[in-house]
Structure 1
Amino acid sequence: MRKVLFLFACLLALVGSGMAQVKGPDYKSLEKDLSKSNEAILNEKKAAKPKTWLARAELLQKISTSYQGNAYPGMDMKTFNLLCGPAVEQREEQVDGASYQVMVMPRSDFYFFDGVYTYYKVTKPLVDRPLDKALEAYRKALELEPKEKNRMKIGKSLAELEKLYVQEGISYYTQKSFEEAHGDFAQAVAICEMPEVNIVDTILYYYKGLANFQTGNYAGATTDFAVAIAKGYSNNGEEYCVFYEAATKADQMDEAKRMLEVGIEKFPLQQCIVLDMINYYISRDEDPKMVLPYLDRAIAGDSANAPLYFVKGVVYDKLGDRDQALAAYHKAIEIDPKYVDAYYNIAALYYNWGAELQNKAVDLPASEQNKYDALMEQASEKFHNCIPPAEEAIKVAPDHRESLDLLKQLYFRYRAEDGMQAKYDAVKAKLDALGAGN
């Protein structure tokens, strides 16, 4: 999903990185305390006291944090050994094609990618879903606590529990356990909305939407994204593009368009919104020309912005106005001489133009030889026009596969011309070296 998975690399910053203590979790004491707590809530007198449930909630939070111990995402293996102690076992594990080093600890496995700690999995829990049970205990304490002052104190403890849910949710998301991640984010949202907590954490709705998207609940994702945006969440306009993607998959096209219109008003320079607006009009067989006023307004406010001219070129290209498209692409290159995509799009425009003329020639009846020859000559001219911008593209980016593939076809087509065979051999060798040659 676009702009979804890479966002969570940033979210790991929320996870604490304190190096408070080197001593590992005392699971025997935790197990003993849990047994006492289980007995206490079955005792009628003790179970009627808020402090019994508060103590239980705090214990369950402590159990939850014990599984990760002193580890924090981003730490290296040397630091892990210092803070968490030696692993019981080490092994290699393949996850989605990536190789992870796994440090096996008494109750959790810690996953390292390229030597950096990424996430953990609980293998031997003292109790299932300790955070959920902690939340239940806090709710019971609130139910029993009549004093407003004490209820507000419980609210502060709940705010700490919310952070643990977010931390655990991010860990689940990182390991692609999206259902579990969604559950944690949903609980975090529920805590924030409790009157004793009353925190407006807009990004939580966004996290919840991302997890919903990954589970295939696109309608749920659009609801979450809409709430996040309405409450003030912003990521430079990209949130509207993510909403659009979810709404498209949920077949909510009217709402998708409405949100794009809102987004483009607020973020006229956000390229993904403009491109999504174009895609909307094209996918709905509506006129992409509708987006041009937005582009012109954006360019008026930032005339040195090469990507805006590039997008304008894409619009005109899709509209079939090749002259305007070429003018826009060339303007982008004038501003940024290393704009490889603009070079490639010019080359592709000429190539498609040549292919169109060639197809017209092929469709002519045999009796119209003169028209056939004229069209083929025009097609050849366009194919030749394709070569210089594609060559410029690989000067800027020598490994640009699309340009190399295009040049390979053209050099082969004109291999009888002076120098073309040598160029073909060089490009083919380059593609072979990149693993893309045939």
Structure 2
Amino acid sequence: MKKIFTIIAIAASMFAVSAQAQNVKSLSAAKAALDKAQAAAENPKQNTKLATWLKYGQSLMDAYAAPSGNMWVGMTAQDLALVAAGERQMSESQVEVNGQAMTKRAYANKNLYFNEAGQVAVIEVTQPLAENILDKALEAFTKAAELDPKGSKTKDISAGLESVASKYMDEAYNAYTLGKPAAASIAFEKAAKASATAPLNKVDDDAVYNAGFTAWQAQDWDRAKKFFEQGIAKGYYGEDGESFAKLADIADKQGDKAASKAYLEEGFQKAPQSQSILIGLINYYLNNDEDPGRLFDLFDVAKKNEPDNASLYYVEGNARLKLNQYEEALAAYDKASEVNPKYEWGYVGKGMALYNRAVELQEQASLEVDDAKYMALLGEFESVLKSCIEPFETAIELTTDDEVKISIAEYLKNAFFRFRSKGDEYQQKYEKYAAIAEGK
């Protein structure tokens, strides 16, 4: 039930889409301007001038945009009919792209991939006006900066660099969506480099993280490690310390269990709320025959540093439950609620633990052939099931998250269904939570 976000900072940086089409130069106009600007950049009499390189960089960016025309990611077929009526479609086919069903429309110089929602997810240029346009544009703006010691064109050069970085991000998005994580990683790296180039001088932590994440997806362990460590060195750990979890995974895959443990423990100190790190630590101690007490030593240190952090007790409860320390888990959840009575997850954790225990008892009872033992298990089952109601009802009153509210209501609905014949109160509560579970 708890929302656990696997870090794909890709979501923050890659899935931004254009809301509307933008006017771009025609293919012929963009090509003519590029040829003229390139000739100037190759002319010894002109290539020492700032304006030459600034114009060359801008011409390259216009040439990059031209094949896509006025199309944009997120547009519908209806939008396409309005802005690209003059372009002839070569073919249309149904394809599977990275596990997703898409419609591919092929044009003379590009492919459009429509997702199941009917929107363009990828614009794949197949015939660019020149090779390595973004690389050349980055070089051009860098050269312009070198020829501008007084900073008279800092604003224009920075805008150019920002545009290059943005387009590299688009390239990364396309590659990722098309199931090419290795290519996405390279594009993310280039985006970070463009942002960091003077005079823009921006550190794009997300791009660096994404370069590592997509390299990890491509199983290029050394490359992924480089970017995760680069981010950590600058104080960027990914959401909930995910960089440490990934580094631990890489170390484990490379056979270095000591390094894996070290990454997890360091990550836990930086982000004790991380589910990925917590699960990694639990699995490490369970799989390597080490004393899991060390895990709770780490919790003790974290709680000492943040005694009023209720989430630490909630996470401890999850860990103890994973290790089959049922009573200790309930105590940890209770402590979370004591530390912060407004923190819904302490109640959610306890309610879930009790509910799941009730399910276990019900299953045991269904297999029991001895009548006396069956009745004893049935009585215990009903007692435990009733005990989950109070924490769940407290949680559903506290939470402001509609999805969490619906999930809790589902458990409460099931619990009250069991007791609905015991009185009107139970029947009314059953109907109440059944309605909430249905989103009413």
TM-score, length basis structure 1: 0.68
Q: State the match for 1:36 in structure 2.
A: 36
Residue 132 of structure 1: CA displacement? 1.0
Residue aligned with 2:252, SS: helix
Equivalent residue for 2:105, pick from 79, 103, 106 = 103
**Alpha carbons 1:350, 1:385 under 8 Å: kept:** no
**Alpha carbons 2:272, 2:312 under 8 Å: kept:** no
Residue aligned with 1:237, SS: helix
| Letter aligned with residue 94 of structure 1 | E
Residue aligned with 1:236, SS: helix
Higher relative contact order (CA 8 A, sep 6+): 2
Aligned length: 372
Residue 177 of structure 1: CA displacement? 2.0
Q: State the match for 1:363 in structure 2.
A: none
Structure 1 segment 384-395 matched on structure 2, within 5 A? none
Equivalent residue for 2:253, pick from 223, 226, 249 = 249
**Alpha carbons 2:97, 2:179 under 8 Å: kept:** no
Residue 306 of structure 1: CA displacement? 8.9
Residue 343 of structure 1: CA displacement? 4.3
Q: Distance in 2 between matches of 1:229 and 1:6?
A: 16
| Letter aligned with residue 308 of structure 1 | V
| Letter aligned with residue 99 of structure 1 | A
Residue aligned with 1:148, SS: coil
Deviations 1:335-360, CA, capped at 9 Å, x for gaps: 339966774477669989xx9xxxxx
Residue 330 of structure 1: CA displacement? 11
Structure 2 CA distance for partners of 1:346 and 1:230, relative to 1, 3 Å: farther
Residue 122 of structure 1: CA displacement? 1.0
Residue 235 of structure 1: CA displacement? 1.8
| Letter aligned with residue 283 of structure 1 | N
Q: Distance in 2 between matches of 1:250 and 1:81?
A: 52
Query: Which shifted more, 214-223 or 11-20?
Result: 11-20
Equivalent residue for 1:215, pick from 214, 218, 221 = 218
Structure 2 CA distance for partners of 1:76 and 1:28, relative to 1, 3 Å: same
**Alpha carbons 2:97, 2:177 under 8 Å: kept:** no
Identity of aligned residues (%): 24
Deviations 1:375-421, CA, capped at 9 Å, x for gaps: x99x999999999899x9x99879xxxxxxxxxxxxxxxxxxxxxxx
Residue 130 of structure 1: CA displacement? 0.9
Residue 209 of structure 1: CA displacement? 0.6
Residue 4 of structure 1: CA displacement? 5.8
Q: State the match for 1:264 in structure 2.
A: 268
Structure 2 CA distance for partners of 1:96 and 1:386, relative to 1, 3 Å: farther
Structure 2 CA distance for partners of 1:167 and 1:200, relative to 1, 3 Å: same
**Alpha carbons 1:295, 1:312 under 8 Å: kept:** no
Q: State the match for 1:275 in structure 2.
A: 279
Q: State the match for 2:435 in structure 1.
A: none
Q: Distance in 1 between matches of 2:210 and 2:311?
A: 35
Equivalent residue for 2:348, pick from 336, 347, 350 = 336
Give the unaligned 5+ runs of structure 2. 337-344, 389-406, 412-440
**Alpha carbons 1:240, 1:260 under 8 Å: kept:** yes
Q: Distance in 2 between matches of 1:349 and 1:151?
A: 74
Deviations 1:230-268, CA, capped at 9 Å, x for gaps: 323342333433333334334454443333333323333
Matched, 1:126 2:105: no
Equivalent residue for 1:198, pick from 191, 198, 201 = 201
Matched, 1:17 2:19: yes
Q: Distance in 2 between matches of 1:302 and 1:34?
A: 59
Q: Distance in 1 between matches of 2:335 and 2:232?
A: 35
| Letter aligned with residue 319 of structure 2 | K
Q: State the match for 1:8 in structure 2.
A: 10
Q: State the match for 1:413 in structure 2.
A: none
Q: Distance in 2 between matches of 1:337 and 1:136?
A: 54
Residue 310 of structure 1: CA displacement? 4.8
Structure 2 CA distance for partners of 1:215 and 1:148, relative to 1, 3 Å: farther
Deviations 1:250-294, CA, capped at 9 Å, x for gaps: 445444333333332333333332222212223333222211244
Give the unaligned 5+ runs of structure 1. 356-375, 399-438
Q: Distance in 2 between matches of 1:304 and 1:216?
A: 33
| Letter aligned with residue 44 of structure 2 | E
Structure 2 CA distance for partners of 1:306 and 1:118, relative to 1, 3 Å: farther
Structure 1 segment 27-176 matched on structure 2, within 5 A? 27-85=27-85, 88-89=88-89, 90-113=92-115, 114-143=117-146, 145=147, 147-150=149-152, 152=154, 153-176=156-179
Residue 17 of structure 1: CA displacement? 2.8
Matched, 1:284 2:291: no
Residue aligned with 1:44, SS: coil
Residue 38 of structure 1: CA displacement? 3.9
Q: Distance in 2 between matches of 1:131 and 1:53?
A: 14
| Letter aligned with residue 234 of structure 2 | K
| Letter aligned with residue 278 of structure 1 | I
Structure 2 CA distance for partners of 1:30 and 1:217, relative to 1, 3 Å: same
Q: Distance in 2 between matches of 1:184 and 1:124?
A: 19
Structure 2 CA distance for partners of 1:177 and 1:136, relative to 1, 3 Å: same
Q: Distance in 1 between matches of 2:377 and 2:68?
A: 61
